[in-house]
Chains A and B, each alone.
Chain A
Amino acid sequence: MMGLAKVFGILLVLVILAALLTWVERRLLGLWQDRYGPNRVGPAGLLQVVADMIKILFKEDWVPPFSDRLGFILAPAIVMASLLVAFAAIPITPDIDIWPMNGIGLLFILAMISLSVYSTVLGGWASNNKYSLVGALRAVAQMLSYEVFLGLSLLGVVLQAQSFDLRQIVAAQAGLWFVVPQFLGFVVFMTAGIAAIHRLPFDLPEAESELTAGFHTEYSSMKFGIFFIGEYVGIVLVSAMLATLFFGGWLGPVLPPLLWFLTKTGAFIAFFILLRAALPRPRYDQLMAFGWKLLLPLALLNLMVTAAILLAT
C-alpha cells in the first residue's frame, strides 16, 4: 500500500513538475533575455500552464491519413513511459524510492533512456514525412553515438563506488562528491545526457529552423503534448541522475534530504535552460565529430585513469 502511494506520488509530482517546467523554462529564458516571459495568466503567469493545457487538449487530434497509424500513436507513449519508468530506480531520499533493482538501478536507467529513442524513430518513420524521417535518422545516429560514452562516463563512478546500486553510489559520496574525482566523467555524462534527451543545443532531431519540427512535425494536440512533456521528464531525469551520481544525491548538511535532492536537481534543470538561452545549435557533423573525437576519448581516458588509480591504491 505504501509502495503504491509512493509510485503514484512520484508519478504525479513528476508529471506536474514537467508541465510546470514549460512555464519555468519560459520565465527563465525571459529572465536571461531581459524580458518577462508569460506573466499575464494568473499570479506571475503560473496559470499559463493551465491555459496551454486547455489549448493543447482542444486542438484537433489529427492522425495523418498517409501515416502508419499504429506506430504514430505508439511513439509518444513510448517516450513518456520509458522515461517515467526510469525514475523507479532513482533514490530521492533514503526513504523515498520505488525499487532499488537489486543493485543494478543504474543499468536499468541507462536501458530506459536508450529505449526512449524508439519513440523518436517510430514517430519519425510513422509520420511518413521527409522532415520527420530525417529527424528520426538524426535521432538514431545521435543516440547510437552518445549512448556509448553515456555509459562509459559513468563507469568511473561505478568503479569508485564499487556498485551499480544508486543508493550505494550516493552513500559512497558521503566524504567527497564524485564530481571532484570524476570531473571528466561528469562533463562527459552531462553532455551525453543532454544529447540523449535532445535538449538544446543538441536538439538536431527536431531542429525547427531546418526540419520544421523534425520527428514530430505531423503531431498535434495531446500526442504532441506528450512528446513535449516527455522532453521535460527527460530533463528532470538527467538532472536527477547528475545530482545522484556526482553531487551526492540527498546528502547535505542541515536541510532535510528531500530538499537537498530537489535543490540539486533544480539547479541542473536551471542550468539546462541556461544552456538553451546561451548556446547555438551545432551543425550535425560537428555534433558527431564532437562525440566521437572528443567525448569518447575523454570518457575512455577517465575510465583508464580511474581504474589505474584504483588498482594502484
Chain B
Amino acid sequence: MASVTIDGRSYDVEAGDNLLHACLSLGFDLPYFCWHPAMGSVGACRQCAVKVFRSPEDHKGRLVMACMTPATDGLHLSLDDPEARAFRASVIEWLMTNHPHDCPVCPEGGECHLQDMTVMTGHVHRRYRFRKRTFRNQYLGPFIAQEMNRCIACYRCVRFYRDYAGGQDFDVFASHRYVFFGRSADGVLENEFSGNLAEVCPTGVFTDKPLGREYARKWDMAGSPSICVHCGLGCNVTVNARAGRLRRLLNRYHHEINGYFLCDRGRFGYGFADQPERFRQPLRRGQPASRAETLEHLKDVLAKAKIIGIGSPRASLEANFALRQLVGPDRFHLGLAADQHRLVSLIIDVLQKGPAPAATLAEAEAADAVLVLGEDLPNTAPRLALALRQASRQKGFAIADRLEIPRWLDISVRDAVQEERSPIYIATADATRLDDVASGVYRLADGEVARLGFAVAQAVDGDGPRVPDASPDLAALAQVIALALCEAKRPLVVSGTGSASQAVVEAAANVAWALCHRGREARLSMVVPECDSLGLGLMGGGSLADAFQAVEAGAADTLIVLENDLYRRAERTAVEHCLDQLRHLVVLDHTPHRTAARAEVLLPAASFAEGDGTLVNNEGRAQRFFSVRPPPADIQESWRWLRDLAALRGDPSVTAWQRLDDVTAACAAALPVLAGITEAAPGADFRVDGAKIPRQPPRYSGRTAMHADQTIREPKPADDPDTPLSYSMEGSAVALPPSAIPYFWAPAWNSVQAVNKFQQEVGGLLRGGPPGVRLIHPGHPGRRSYLPEIPRPFTPRRGRWWIQPLHALFGSEELSRHSPPIAERLATPSLALPPTDAARLGLAEGALVELRLGSETLRLPVSLHPALAAGTGGLTAGLPETLGLPLPAWAEVRAVSETPP
C-alpha cells in the first residue's frame, strides 16, 4: 500500500501500480486512450497527463503521463491542475485535427471512447484550418469493418492483435501522421479474436460489421447478461437487441473467465437465433400447427405411450431437469455421444475427487508452465488458448520482476524479455495455432499423446504407473517436460474431450495429480465441447446407447428429444434404426437439424436470446443466462413446454412450476450435486431499490412510435416472471449484482470502458465478486491413486489410416454455423493426411478420395497437413458430412477418379 495525495486529499493505492490505474480505480475520470487494463501502458497517446509535485510545498510541479508513472508512497499529484487540464485538452485537439466530420454516420457514435474523452477534456471547437489526411479502407472479412480516417493512432489494435492475440496478418504501416493500421492487402482477418478490435479500438476505425448491417445505437439496445453457448468455457456476454431482433453480442467482463476478450465464434455466433429457418411455431409432420391442436394431439400420444427422454448438453440445466422429471430419472438419457458421455463422466470424476482443482481462465493465464494433451485449443476452446498465450509471458514477467520493471510497462517488459517464454508443451494430433508460443510441440496419435502424458506423470512422481515399451525418446522427452512442470510454481495441465480419447484425459489427470503429490499447486483445465456438457454430466442419466436399446427392446415407443440432434451423437445408421422403430418422436428445438426434420411433433423452443437458464462451464461454475427479449408468439422455453406436457399427463409436481426459480429450486433440491445453482444469480424476486433491473438504457428511444403502425396505444412492456430484469427502461440500475448487469454504462463513460466503474479496481473483480457459483469445489487434499490404463504404442497399418477428429472454430460447433457472418467462413470438409502418406497414395492437395469408416463411405477432397503423424489422418468433426462418425477410428482410404460415375 502506498499513500498518495491527489488534489489535496490522501488515498491509499497499491504501491507500484501506475497512476492511471490508481486514479481510475479510485473513481477519478482521467482521460486515456492507449492504455488498456489487460495490455498495460505504452505511453503512446499522451492523454493521461497529470501533474506530480515533489512535496506539499512544491507548487510548480511537472507534467507526467499517469500511465507511465508508478505510484509511490507520499506522492503528490493533481488531476485538476490548470496546466494538466490544458495539456490534456490540447492533446485531444491534436488528435482531432485529422478526425473526419462523420460521427453521425459512424457506428461507434454514442459509445465512442474518443467522444467521451473529448467531452471530458472540454475540447469543443476546431481551430486547425489545414487539411485532413485520408486513407482508403480495407476489406477485413465478415466480422470487422474498417474506416481508417477516424484513427487517432493509439496503437491499441496492433498491440492487441499481434502482441496479445498472436495474430500475424495485421500491422501498422507508414510513419508519423500517416500511420495505417491494417493488413498488407485486403483480406479476411485470420486471427480468431479479431472481433475484439471493435471493443479495443477507442474510436470508429474498427467496428462490428454484423451490427452495422442492422444498426442501432448503444442507447437504443436492450441488454441482458448472458452466457456464450458456443463452447464449454462459459464466457460471460452481453446480448443486445432492439425491436425484437438481436443486434450484437458484447464481451461482459468476468474477472475469472473471459476478462475483456471473446473469440469470434462467441461474438458472431448469435445469428442462429434470428435466422429465417428458425422454428417459430409448432410443427406436425413438418406442417405448421396451432399450439392448442398440437397439445391436444400430444395428450393422446402421452396417454398411451412408453416414453423416454434424451437431454442435451446445449440446453439449460432447467430444461434438462424438466425432461428428467417428465419421463422419470431412469428413463432420462443424456444426449451425449458414447465417447463424450464416458469422457464427461471421467472429467467430472477427476475434478470432483482428484487433488488438482479445475483452473479458471484467470488461473490459466497465470500458469507458468503448461502441458496441453490432445486438445486443439484455438479451435475447441479459443478463449483458453488466448489465456495460455498470456501464460507464455509468465517467465518474462519473472524476468521483469527481477529487473524491477513494473509488469504494466509493456514495451519495457517486452524489450527486457525478448523471446523468453514460459514452458508450454503441446501434444496433439495436428498443428494448432498456439504452436508459436510453445516450447515444444509433438504431433502424435491420441494413444501416443496419452503415453507421453503417462510417462510425464511417472517422471514427475515415481509412484505413477510405468509406461510399457517406452522408447528412450519418449522417456527423455517426458523427463524434459516433467522437469519444466516441477520447476514451475503454478503448473497447468490442459486436456479435454477434443481428441475423444479416454486415455488422454486419464493421462492428463495423472500428470496433474503427480504434480500435486509432489507438492506443486497444479491446476487442471478440462475442455468440454458444449455450454452445458458438464452440467448434464453432473445431472447424470442413461447413455444414448441405453436409449437406443430401450427402443430396440420395445421398452419405449415414444422419444422426446430436447434441443439435440441425435445425428451428431451417434452413427447415422444407428440413429435411423432407432427412429424407424419409434411410434412418436417429439423434438423441442429452435434450430433446424436432421432429427428435427424427422419429428412427428416439433415444439419451438426458446434460444438463449428468449429463454433463461443455468449452464455449467468446464470448471464446474454454474452461471445463469437471461433472455434479452420476450419469446415471440408460439415460442417458449423448453422447460415450459415440458411442464405443459407434464400437465397433459397430470403430473402435479411439475405442473406447479410457474417460473424459472421454481424449476431451479426443484432441480437443486432433487440433485445434491447441483444444490448450488440457485445461488448462480439473483432470483426473480430480487429488486434494486424496490424495482426490477431495466434491460433498456435510460435513453432507449422510439418507445411511443415503435409499435404505432400496429396499435396507436402503446402496449405494456412484456412481463418477465423469470428474472429480476424488466423489459423496459423503468427500474434501478445502480449497485447491480455482478451476475445481472444488463449493460455497462456510467455517466460520462458511454463506451465499453464504462466497465471500469463496475470493478472493485480497474481490471479486478466486479463489485460484488465473480458471477456464478462453483459446483465442484476445488482441490481435494490427499493422494488419489493414479489411473492405470495405459494404451499400447501406436503402429501404423497398411492401407488404413487412424482417422482422428479435428476441430474447426467455424463449423464444428452446431449453432454458430447458422449465423450469417460465420457461415461465410465455415470450414469445408476434407480428409487431412500427412503429405508422405498422401504421396504414397499418389494424392495431391484437393484430390478426391473415398473413405470407408465403419458403415459409412465418404467422398472427400484431400488436404495435406504436414504436421500429422505418419499413419494418421484427420476429419473435421461436426460438419454436415462428418456428423456422428465414431472418430477416432481406422479407415480405408482409396483414391477415386475425379469424374463421378
Query: A and B touching (C-beta < 8 Å)?
Result: no
